[in-house]
Amino acid sequence: MLPENHNEFRSDTFTTPTESMIKSISLASIGDSVYNEDKDTIALEKRIAEMMGFEEGLFCCSGTLSNQIALRSHLLQPPHSIICDNRGHVFVHEAGGLATLSQAMVTDIIASNGLYLTLEDIINRYIPDDGDIHAAPTRVVSLENTIHGLIHPIEEIKRISEWCHDNGLILHLDGARIWDASIATGIDFKEYGKYFDSISVCLSKGLGAPIGSVLVGSKKFILKANHFKKQNGGGIRQCGMLARMAMVAIDENFSKMKSAHIMAKEVADYAENLGLIFEIPCQTNFIFLDPLKNKIDPKIITPIGEKYNIKISGFRLSFSFQTSKEAVENLKLALKEIKEYSETNPYDSNKAVGLYHSGNKK
């Protein structure tokens, strides 16, 4: 039974639970996880914490909540700020949670190499806590791996981690797609985990769980994060059904995720041969076409996709293990038509084209 979203290229958040995941619900525990009494939730939290090499885990209903309560738990006393990539989800796509929940300023950095933050990028923008009352000192560095599908090299992560900890800073990882980073590099989760104070691990992206993330960290950190989770309406009662599906997803889908990388590379090679230009290299399950250099009118993307029975919008193409081969072939046809149209109708955009708004925002 192919999942409904086999022709979905907008995001890997559209993955859907498999039949065995749905069947597993009937076996799920039904304890109240606010009272920490749900066996399957406890088992999932323990499993992810152990996989990443941390003391404890905390199931959250979303990666946004997981990231924001992690950063809130690290950020104790304003004025303070965090450093992150200017594309970082915690900054760009979590509705300003850092300002409201953490009262934090953000030093968002454009990676000087165009790919990932280096230690030098961070040192150049770091705000020391040196008594200057004009400043909001840096307390946390928040990385993301993968970021827009790009892999953050472990050697750079190691350099950043050592410097952060030598300078009294905390290092958080938005590991929404740490699964993809591990698949692409062969690096074990624990090897990544040892450099961070906390990691938010999404279950609902390429892995295929319908909901949620697990935040991992020290026992003391998770205790406080759970407090902020409850404060923000994140307490879930019978969470076992979600945990059970996530367990099945890890057991059955993780091994299939490499297929998304293979399909993405196949389409990237095809697009390159068409003469399409990429914003960043295709390293895992995303392709990012360059919105400006390709002179593509964003408004044509979705309609041309519909013509070939695929769902595309904006300039990011996302692949998952549920993407069908038929949809990949249709995507190639759509890209060919988009390229040909743009050659005869070049589009010069003078407006930012957001990841999620194809065309000029209304």
Ligand X SMILES: Cc1ncc(COP(=O)(O)O)c(C=O)c1O
Ligand Y SMILES: C[C@@H](O)[C@H](N)C(=O)O
Show the binding pattern over residues 78-97: x = contacts ligand Y (CB under 6 A), - = does not.
Answer: ---------------x----
Q: Which of 354, 280, 355, 315 is nearest to 113 (CA)?
A: 280
Report the nearest approach of ligand Y to the CB of residue 339 (Å): 24
What contacts 328, CB < 8 A, 6 or more positions away? 263, 266, 267
Beta strands in the chain (DSSP E): 56-60, 80-85, 104-109, 138-144, 170-175, 198-202, 213-217, 278-280, 286-289, 316-318
204 binds ligand X (CB under 6 A): yes
Task: Between 139 and 261, name the residue whose CB sits nearer to ligand Y.
Answer: 261
Task: Between 64 and 161, name the residue whose CB sits nearer to ligand Y.
Answer: 64
75 binds ligand X (CB under 6 A): no
62's contact among ligand X, ligand Y, none, with CB below 5 to 8 A by partner kind, is ligand X
- Which residue is it, tokens 């995720």? 257
Show the binding pattern over residues 12-41: x = contacts ligand Y (CB under 6 A), - = does not.
Answer: -x----------------------------
Report the nearest approach of ligand X to the CB of residue 57 (Å): 16
Size of the site for ligand X (CB under 6 A): 12
- Which residue is it, tokens 């200017």? 86
Burial degree of 134 (CB within 10 A; 0-12, 13-18, 19+): exposed
Is residue 34 within 8 Å of 225, Cβ to Cβ? no
204's contact among ligand Y, ligand X, none, with CB below 5 to 8 A by partner kind, is ligand X
- Please identify which residue in 7, 29, 64, 185 interacts with ligand X, judged by CB under 6 A: 64
What residues form DSSP beta bridges with 141? 83, 171
- Please identify which residue in 5, 7, 11, 182 interacts with ligand Y, judged by CB under 6 A: 11
Upper half-sphere CA count for residue 286 (Cβ side, 13 Å)? 27
Point out which residues bind ligand X (CB under 6 A): 13, 62-64, 67, 89, 144, 174, 176, 202, 204, 213
